Structure formats: C-alpha cells, structure tokens
Copies of this chain bind each other. A is one copy, B any other.
Amino acid sequence: MIVYLNGKYLPREQAWISPEDRGFLFADGVYEVIHSYRGKLFHVDEHMRRLKNSLAGLKISYSNIPEIREAALRLIQENGLKEDATVYIQITRGTNFPRKHAFPPANTAVTVYVMAYPITPRDPERETGIPVITTPDLRWARCDIKSVALLPNVLAQQQAIDAGVTDAIFVRDSVALEGSASNFFAVIDNVVLTHPKTNVILPGITLDVVLELCRKNNIPHLEKPIYLNQLWTAQELFLSSTTMEVMPIVQVDGRSISGGKPGKVTRKLQTLFKEYVASLP
C-alpha cells in the first residue's frame, strides 16, 4: 500500500512523522474521508470545500487543494482501488519545538498525510438495519469543524461496541444530534428530519446528498432538532455517512424502532442513493 506524506509517495511501512507533530501533541489538525466508487471519488468538490472550511476554522494556513486532489486520485490508482475504497486525508499545523500550545511561526510547514484503502461495503447491515445506543454528548462546542480531536467519538463508539451495538447517538440538551461518525435522521409524521447545520453537528456530505435526494423526489424533509423523546415513536430512524451511506436504525437503547426493520422511507432513500451513485460518470 502506497501513502502520501508531505510531497512523497511511499510504501505505508516507510511513512513516518515526528512525535513533535502538532497532530500528535495537540490534535491540532483536520481531516476528510472520501468514498471512492469504482475508482471515482464521490463528491470530491464538496469534501474539498469542507476541508477548506475546517482549515479556516482552525486558522491553518494551507490552500494547496490541488495537491490533495492529485494525491487522492493517484493513491486510488497506485493502490489499484477499482472497487469500494476510502481516501483519508489529514492536515496538521506541522511540527514545532519546544512544545507550546500557541501556533508555531507562520512559515512552519503543515503536515499532509493521505492514505487510500479498500473497504467492505456494509450491504448486510444496510439490509437488516443496526442497533444503537444513545450517549451524553461530551464533545466540544465546535463539532462543525472536522478536527482530529476525536477522543469523545472514540469513547462513544467503544461504548456502543461494549453494549453490543453498532453505534452511539450523541444527545445534548435532550436533542439527538448525530452518530459517533455519522449524521442522524428521523422520519416523523412522514417528514424526514435532521438537525440544522449548527456548531453541534458535522455538516455531512452524505447528509447533503440525502437531503438533495429528498428534494428531487418530493420526499418531505426539514432540518430541525430531533428530541430524544421523539425517538420512541418515530416511524423510522437512520444514519448517513461516507462509508455507511444510508444506514437504517432498528433499535435504540434496546427498544425496537419501526418494528425492528428498516422503514419504507429509509429503503426508498437507500435505493435512490444507490441509483445516484450508479448514475455518476
């Protein structure tokens, strides 16, 4: 497997960074995960736009988006990724010594790391739906920035696994916000709901695709908060993410959702999503 690190294409085993990298010391960096279908990057423009927003949010001076795009495409080729794959991109504020929280000098080179590898499509889970738990949202107040400060997400996902389920939904102020690495939707009164894009959720690329599919297909949809107490009577619940696509939720905290089976609207959106992906050039 070939990866990209600071201008070089290297075998994965030869890619090394300094432990003084601010990504390692301070979580001072941002990332993106892009789905590659049949060797083509899905919605790469949107991912690049979000990457720019994340960099701007942290005031990391880096604007060489063509470098990232080229690395992503070349890694798909170099690694022969003709089927489902993900491209992972991370940019940190570089290395500085001695360790100091404040930003390093303006001329400090950022660290750019890109990897691409095959993934197994989660079709079986998309067929049956997944069980989840809810968990108090311990995260910071800028969940809209896709930063590598993912420790609360790590703990939430592990909590889900320890509970024997697939994912955890963050709940803050009685609102069910999003999954540990996915956005969250409910179907209530035949309307597809998802949280407005504020500071408490990540503006998901797949979320946008789902909303656009609703729009084009006259499926009623609204961006508004989903309260925890609405989950138990919701017609359907589902998650969206780059790797999950449209993932039905059939159980929350041990309680069955939509009769323990993926709901009709979720099914419809899965089909529309697949068709949309297949339609791309």
Contacts and interface: CB of A to CB of B under 8 A. Distances in A.
Contacts of A150: 25-28, 101, 149
B148 A138 contact: no
A24 B103 CA distance: 17
A142 B148 contact: no
A99 B88 contact: yes
A180 B101 CA distance: 9
Contacts of A157: 101-102
Interface string A109-148: 0000101010100000000000000001011111000011
Given A17-B19, A17-B24, A103 B158 contact: yes
A247 to B, nearest CB: 15
Contacts of A26: 148, 150-151, 153-154
Interface string A76-102: 000000000000101010000111011
Contacts of A102: 154, 157-158, 160-161
Contacts of A23: 24
A152 B181 contact: no
Interface in A1-59: 3, 5, 12, 15-28, 31, 58-59
Q: How many copies of this chain are found per oligomer?
A: 2
A156 B149 CA distance: 15
A142 B160 CA distance: 19
A155 interface: yes
Contacts of A158: 59, 101-103
A141 B141 contact: no
Nearest to A161: B102
Contacts of A18: 15-17
Given A17-B19, A26-B154, 8 more contacts: A15-B18, A19-B115, A22-B154, A25-B150, A28-B154, A102-B157, A103-B161, A138-B141
Interface of A: 3, 5, 12, 15-28, 31, 58-59, 88, 90, 92, 97-99, 101-103, 113, 115, 117, 119, 136, 138-142, 147-155, 157-158, 160-161, 180-181
